Structure 1
Amino acid sequence: MDLDSKIYVAGHRGMVGSAIVRSLKNKGFTNIVFKSSSELDLTNQKAVDDFFAAEKPDYVFMAAAKVGGIVANNTYRAQFLYDNLMIESNVIHACYVHEVKKMLFLGSSCIYPKLAEQPIHEDSLLTGPLEYTNEPYAIAKIAGIKLCETYRDQYGSDFISAMPTNLYGPNDNYDLKNSHVLPALIRKFHVAKVEDKPEVEVWGTGTVLREFLYVDDLAEACFFLMKNYSDKQTVNVGYGKDLTIRELAETVKEVIEFDGQLKFDASKPDGTPRKLMSSERINQLGWKAKISLKEGIKKVYAEVDKSDW
């Protein structure tokens, strides 16, 4: 990519898309285009096609999606499947029709089987049943991967896909009904500290294992892959280590300096027992995550607007 290449970042207001925009601007790219969801409905095929016909982007980072945590995924199952299928189908097809030079599609680690061998390698895809609570979202993301593969096979389109692990960072969602575990914990511990509560409730048993990647690290990985990778095989992007939800909660508690106790509610869902990505492929290509979990939590806690909590 040249510094004046036209680059479309789909989903630029989301956590991932905004991180990609920050990364590109920091590197000196000057011709970045984007539209908010109110300006461009990516579930509308004609609107997407008209946008691509008018803008003619050279490169596309496909970071737009309808996302949420366990509750949102399990409550709005049809919405998560339909919206994500429409969004990715419309954008990927428009990239082909309007001859985009290269497109990067971002998936999710939930595409892998619930009981996949750990750490999870890219070839684990479609080898077993998915976690039920986020199955619709996972199926949509798998369809996006397969669109990239088949457009490459049939049309020679340079479409690649990357699968990030659990993410956190600036522009995360802190709504307790729809957020993922880490932002939810940050908000819970902050509120408990401010209100001098004796304990914080943590969903689940605290024993399941999760891996977390700071979103600016993912943005750097996306840029790296755009420059250095061109193959149909999806690429995992992770931090390389996982920890229990109990250890995560204790880390957040330490950063926020909350003095109370942890209370685990085992009646709430745990989700997948373990989900550690193998990032061996991208590490061998020359990229590795830099920001530690504790460092990342400190950064987001210092930056996030807590006024409406």
Structure 2
Amino acid sequence: MPTSQDLLDLAREVLTIEADAIRGVAARLDESFVAAHAMMLTCKGRVVVSGIGKSGHIGRKLAATLASTGTPAFFMHPAEAAHGDLGMITGDDVVLALSYSGAVEELVSLLPAIKRRGARIVAITGNPDSALGQAADVHLNARVDKEACPLNLAPTASTTATLALGDALAVSLLEARGFSRDDFALSHPGGSLGRKLLVHVRDVMHQGEALAVVGRHASVRDALFEITRKGLGLTAVVDEAGNLLGVFTDGDLRRAMDQDVDLKSARIETVMTRQPKTIEAGRLAVEAVQLMEKSKVYVLLVLEHGKLAGAVRMHDLLQAGVV
């Protein structure tokens, strides 16, 4: 029975072997990587990723990474390809074929048909002299000195090296395409990341009749009625032209009461907070969260073209899934 120290030593050895494998691949990078990058960047169709077994699992992940970072891609299982899915490939496509041995029959048997269709092939293997390595238009060498498996059998370091090399391709393509944060968000609209990058303040703010607003000459009592009606916990204070002058909150109310202000007759401009915290309607909602946290407030007034446009609360941002 291994001791805790035995387990830790083994885990560290595995991580070291896999890290060394990636460093080895990095040291061998040459013009083949540049050629593969160029082929995939100029591809008029899609990148078709294929592999079987553990390489297939890596291939599925790489196809997803490429697709989500600006390079249209999908995964095609070699066995399914041999039974009709090969029709998915066109002459405008690039096939990214993964096989550490470079000799897996299910993939190698597809090569003649792929070439007849006119698609080009980028292969990632651990053996440049393999059937796949020789048939490919571009070969990328993912050879590792040894697997992290103590038996040197289970694909471990080799799959890590293949994944890292594929990620390097995806990131280089992302950079070459000028792929932006907004582009990334459009590929991830359903996740929290997409919400943070797509939701703007104007999408979640209270506006129009839902916004609490009073004029500068309103009484504190009138302001309290407005706050109660709109339920935002504050009211904006504007001048005759609609320009924002200040804000009145429950904190301002407490301070007015401490100073024995006559709430029935006092004008709101005498007790309001001037220069309230604001944010532009076009800013990202996540920026509103950051400003609230920094300023230690839970509501921001929203401006558009310098004019009062709405109000946004931390509660609204929570409901929108931004926080």
Work out whether the TM-score is over 0.5.
no
Larger radius of gyration: 2
Scaled to the shorter chain, the TM-score interval is 0.3 to 0.5
Q: Given the two structures, how large is their TM-score scaled by the length of structure 2?
A: 0.31
Select the structure with the greater relative contact order (CA < 8 A; seq sep ≥ 6): 1
